Amino acid sequence: MDKGTLAQAEPEKNWAGTYAYRAANRARPRDLDELVRLVREGSGRLHALGTRHSFTDLPDTDGTLIDLTSLDGGIEIDGAARAVRVPGGTRYGVLAQALEAEGWALRNMGSLPHISVAGATATGTHGSGNGNAVLSTGVRALRYVGADGEVRDVRRGDPDFDALVVGLGAYGIVTEVELDIVPTYRVRQDIYDHVSWDAALADLDAVTGAGYSVSVFTHWDDDEVGYVWVKTRLASDDDDVPATLLDGAIVHDDSPLGSHDNVTELGGIPGPWMLRLPHFRLDREPSFGAEIQTEYFVDRSVAPEALRAVRALAPMIRPHLVVSELRTAARDGLWLSPAYERDVLAIHFTWHDRAADVAGVIPHIEAALAPFAARPHWGKQHAFDAERIAAVHPRIADARAVFERLDPAGRFVNAHLERVGARLPR
């Protein structure tokens, strides 16, 4: 059988090996015409699958998974418009290499350059920085195949745009994304240690604002925060950075993530943005391997109180935790963005692959964060249902109405979208 057409699905898991896709069939179209034919001539439910970096059933279906990683199309850079068009299944790291070769850059990147552009933007995935919004805000336009097999474009400023960018795969299959670009720039990375929780919570903005992009790695149960990973955007390679941060100081012989083998270069050595903004190298396996991830977003105005609430759970969290990471993102106007209309602190947990234990801890964390109207990351494990999502996402009903209008027969509906209220139950 032609591999580009419908085929019986083989067992496959997400990149960490901690979620097994349940779809009955899988297709891997090689061009837009083939994708259109699959949508028009096929029956049953569909859902797009990218680089498999979700930790939930969000990108799954009881019908056919459409694997976009083989969809052809080149990266088209328009320097005059400061824009780039890229196939949706392209990894951010591959896009970054193409941009850097032409003297261009993205404003920010996530910690993993391995993630696909369409998948990351559809779930509100982010990097860090008080002044940096989630990756989805860089989207200027989307091209997608709708439920009727028609190819459609939506651009920034169009009526449905703010609903569709962080669209969860709920209305169609995104095939191309147009992104903002900026001139290339240089970045250095420095690690600060021995910052105390007392100092950090008294002036959290000093920590999260210590660089262009800042990540705090913690295990919650010590007097000290842990490691503060500061990425400084440079005007010149000989720009100086402070030797201290609150009551902490730069260290040159440690990494927040253990082995340096898969981590981008530390120690204050300047380099191009695309080799510094991500934590992990594109040519290595990212993160820790078999793991489960969870993440919640709270308004930065209440972030110290939210962190104190989580710290109180440290004895329960620590036995199952690999590490937690704290990052920030600037507010935006995308309806289902985790930063919709508020500057946020993201509280991330990387767990050991112990599904039952993690499932037992998550409700306690969510209860502790409930007073702060925490929003879960769409692609990571959480226990929110439709009622709780509606309480923290004020535009979920509006987004659902757009999805239902574009896909009235529910071809892109799945159990996850029904569960969180992004699509009506069927």
* pLDDT tens by residue, 78-98: 999 999 999 999 999 999 999
Residue with tokens 């989805």: 136
Q: Which pTM was predicted?
A: 0.94
Mean local confidence (pLDDT), 155-181: 97
Domain boundaries, the chain: 76-184, 186-385
| β-sheet with 83-87: strand ranges across | 76-78, 83-87, 173-180, 139-145, 151-155
Q: Could you give phi then psi for residue 290, rounded to 5 degrees?
A: -65, 110
Mean local confidence (pLDDT), 251-275: 84
Question: Which residue from 371, 282, 377, 363 is spatially nearest to 325, judged by alpha carbons?
Answer: 377
The secondary structure of the chain in percent helix, strand, coil, rounded to multiples of 5, reads 25, 25, 45
Q: Which pLDDT does position 94 carry in this prediction?
A: 95
Burial of residue 215 (number of CB atoms within 10 Å: 0-12, 13-18, 19+) = buried
User: Predicted confidence band at 230 (pLDDT cuts at 50, 70, 90)?
Assistant: very high
pLDDT in tens, 369-412: 999 999 999 999 999 999 999 999 999 999 999 999 999 999 99
pLDDT in tens, 414-425: 999 999 999 999
The DSSP element (H or E) to which 113 belongs, if any, is none
Question: Which residue from 198, 288, 184, 275 is spatially nearest to 231, judged by alpha carbons?
Answer: 275
Task: Specify whether domain 186-385 bears CATH 3.30.70.2520.
Answer: yes
What is the bridge-based pairing of β-strands 321-329 and 213-218?
antiparallel
Would you say 423 and 410 are in contact if contact means Cβ atoms under 8 Å apart?
Answer: yes
pLDDT in tens, 99-119: 999 999 999 999 988 889 999
User: Predicted confidence band at 3 (pLDDT cuts at 50, 70, 90)?
Assistant: very low
Local structure of 58: helix, strand or coil: coil
Tokens describing residue 391 = 């309480």
Would you say 136 and 337 are in contact if contact means Cβ atoms under 8 Å apart?
Answer: yes
User: Predicted confidence band at 1 (pLDDT cuts at 50, 70, 90)?
Assistant: very low
Q: List, as one string, the DSSP characters of 125-166.
A: -----TT-B-GGGGEEEEEEE-TTS-EEEEETTSTTHHHHTT
Determine the topology of domain 76-184 in CATH.
Answer: 3.30.465
What does the mean pLDDT of the chain come to?
Answer: 93
